[in-house]
Amino acid sequence: MSGFFLPVLLLLPLVASVPSPSRPPPKYCRRCCDHLEPPLSSSSRPVAYQAPEVRTFINMTILKGDKGDRGERGTPGKTGADGPQGFRGATGAKGSKGQAGAPGDPCKTQHSAFSVGRRKSLHSVDYYQAMVFDTIFVNLAEHFNMFKGKFYCYVPGIYYFNVNIHTWNFKETYLHLMHNEKEKVILYAQPSDRSIMQSQSVLLNLELNDEVWVRLYKRERENAIYSDDVDIYITFNGYLVAPAS
C-alpha cells in the first residue's frame, strides 16, 4: 500500500501551480466616472514630499565661559620698510634753564698767560711804535710774539693786562695799551726832576685773533721811558681770567 500512494502525492503540487488555460485574465477595477475627468498634467501631478532643511544654531553667549589667562607674548615680526619722512613740526617752547654741570677735567682747562720784560730804554720817533721786549718770564704756548711785541688771542675770553714802566728825568712818558688798533688805557707821567715807577692795568674781553700791545706815542713831545742793562724796569703781563662760554 505504501508503494502505491507515493507517486500520486509528488504530482499534486505540480498540478496546483499551473494555471488553467481556460481561466480568463484578471481585470482591474475602474470607476465609472474615470472617463469624465481630464487626464492629469505633469504640473498638476502630486509633488513628492521634501523634508525641510534643519540648521543647528548655538547661542554662544550661553556657552561663553570665564576669561582665560593672558597668553605669552608672540615672536616679534620682521621690521617693515621705512616710511616717507614727515613734515617738520612746530618749534616748541623754550625750556627752563638746566642745573650747572660738574667741574671739568683740570687737564682740559684752557690757559693763556705771558710775562715779558725790556732791558733797553726807549725814545719816541716821528711815528707811533710798538714796544718790543727782550726778556721772557712766562709765555704759554707762545701766544706772545716777541718779534712784534704783541699778544695774540687763541683762547677767547676775559683777560687781565698790566704794564709797568720807569719814567725818565725831565721827560714825558706817554703810552697806550692797545686792543687791535684802538687805544684802551693810557699810561702817562709828566716831566719831573725825579724818575718814578708807573703802572696801568685793565680787563679786556677778547675774541679769537685779537691783538693786545703797548704803543709809544710819536715825537710831538720829548717822550721816553728808562731802563738799563742791569735791572729790568719795564714789564708787560697778561693772562686769561675766564674763557668764553
Phi, psi of 35 (to 5 degrees): -75, -15
| pLDDT tens digits, 128-176 | 889 999 999 999 999 999 999 999 999 999 999 999 998 888 888 889 9
Q: Which amino acid is at 123?
A: H
| pLDDT tens digits, 208-235 | 999 999 998 877 767 888 888 888 999 9
pLDDT of the residue at 35: 58
Side-chain-facing half-sphere of 182: CA atoms under 13 Å: 5
Sorted by where each begins, the domain ranges of the chain are 113-243
Band of residue 103 on the pLDDT scale cut at 50, 70, 90: low
Side-chain-facing half-sphere of 134: CA atoms under 13 Å: 11
Check: CATH 3.40.50.1370 for 113-243?
Answer: no
